[in-house]
Structure 1
Amino acid sequence: MSDTPRKWSRAALSDALLRFAAERAMQTREFDRRVADLPADTPGQASLRAALGAAKAWEAAVLWVAWRLRPRTSIDT
């Protein structure tokens, strides 16, 4: 049984997750900049900060999974 189809599917999934997480990270950073521009007494500021923190943690987890899915390469092959 060939190992190639599994490697290709892992690579494709990893690439898709990396693109998705990168796009989400850019959106989160833009939202973070917008929240930073709000007045300090804005209602819900703490909730916004908590949501941003959760989004950043989620993005980090998706990036970690994407990198772990990357097919390993060897110098010998």
Structure 2
Amino acid sequence: MYENRQVCWEQFWKEQLTINGEMDIEQIKQELFEYKTLLEQINQPQQAVMQPQILIQLAVEQRIQKHQEKTLALA
């Protein structure tokens, strides 16, 4: 867990959302889209039986996979 948003930015998001020090607008759009989709899934009545933690875990696994793919592409 991060203690504040600056630490979170420096330790996680900065690497995810920048390329050569420049903001990657398309990646930001993708992250915001995925965040909004996750919120909608959590709030859907048919998802009430599925624990929100499961949806969050799926989102985390997707994020890790995308990060690994991006890292390999830049290598």
Output the TM-score relative to the length of structure 1.
0.41
Output the TM-score relative to the length of structure 2.
0.42
Q: Quick check: which has more Rg, 1 or 2?
A: 1
Higher relative contact order (CA 8 A, sep 6+): 1
More strand by share: 2
